[in-house]
Amino acid sequence: MTLTKVSSAKVAGGWHQQFSHSATSTACAMRFAIFLPPQAGPNNPVPVVYWLSGLTCTDENFMQKAGAFKKAAELGLAIVAPDTSPRGDGVADDPEGSYDFGLGAGFYVNATQQPFAKHYQMYTYVVEELPALIEANFPVTSQRAISGHSMGGHGALMIALRNPSLFSSVTAFSPIAHPTECPWGVKAFTGYLGEDKKIWTQYDSTLLMQNKSTGPAALVDQGDADNFLQQQLKPEHLQQAAKQSGYPLTLRMQAGYDHSYFFISSFIDEHLAFHAQRFG
């Protein structure tokens, strides 16, 4: 598969680069960013942390705002950040132009409803196509971890729970923890997946976790000053599910922090260290 380099910049002794490619799963051009630490090379492949961003974001938000490069360079970790949805001419969008559905809001599901089913196959893209592409073209190992924020936190948890053999650990900031029970999730799942709520359950981390006692170790940070905490995020539901099943989840409520990248940048080093420890 042909990769087109969009940009490249040296940072923290390594390289941050953006690439575009023609994706089979989403039937359109996709862009991703990758940080390769200074240790990475043909004779020294490094493990990868996949980062999934939230509503309205692209690959750029995390890479430009999280301040993750120095710690990732220290630990010898690559970071890969895909886009949050398919884009381009012919890709369906919310006809009402809202921020929480359509472009920039793929919710990391495989859509079954028209006109979204043709392109909105983000679950397959993140789980199958993108890792295969990264491992074929960059000096990385098959060791993977996954993390994300808000909608991306939902995606990271859900994907790790469904694919425990592919990811050694999962972390999330302010995840949409119970999407079948919040306005953002209900809107997205109805639009992408239809009215059958049995299909929704396979994309809901709380429902998945309450039936799993083992899986990738999970760390979730949630700010208690987050404006979306009560209505949209519901981390207490995730915690209750973990208690019910015995799942290895650590949920930390962080006093005074909101939903922004100020919050993420304050704790990203701890999340990267969490993953590095489980890479061994």
Report the alpha-carbon angle 235-122-164, nearest 5: 60
Q: Which of 150, 168, 174, 205 is catalytic?
A: 150
Rounded CA separation 64/39 (Å): 21
Report the alpha-carbon angle 55-193-174, nearest 5: 30
Burial class (CB in 10 A: 0-12, 13-18, 19+), 93: middle
| 21 is annotated as an active-site residue | no
Rounded CA separation 212/128 (Å): 22
Rounded CA separation 152/175 (Å): 7
Task: State how far the alpha carbon of 60 is from the alpha carbons of 192, 194, 208, 231, in Å.
Answer: 25, 31, 30, 27
Rounded CA separation 69/272 (Å): 10
The two beta strands, 14-23 and 3-11, are antiparallel
Q: Which of 16, 154, 237, 259 is catalytic?
A: 259
| 94 is annotated as an active-site residue | no
Structure tokens at 280: 């061994």
The residue type found at 61 is N
* Closest alpha carbon to 124 in 106, 104, 105, 110: 110
Q: Catalytic residue positions?
A: 150, 226, 259
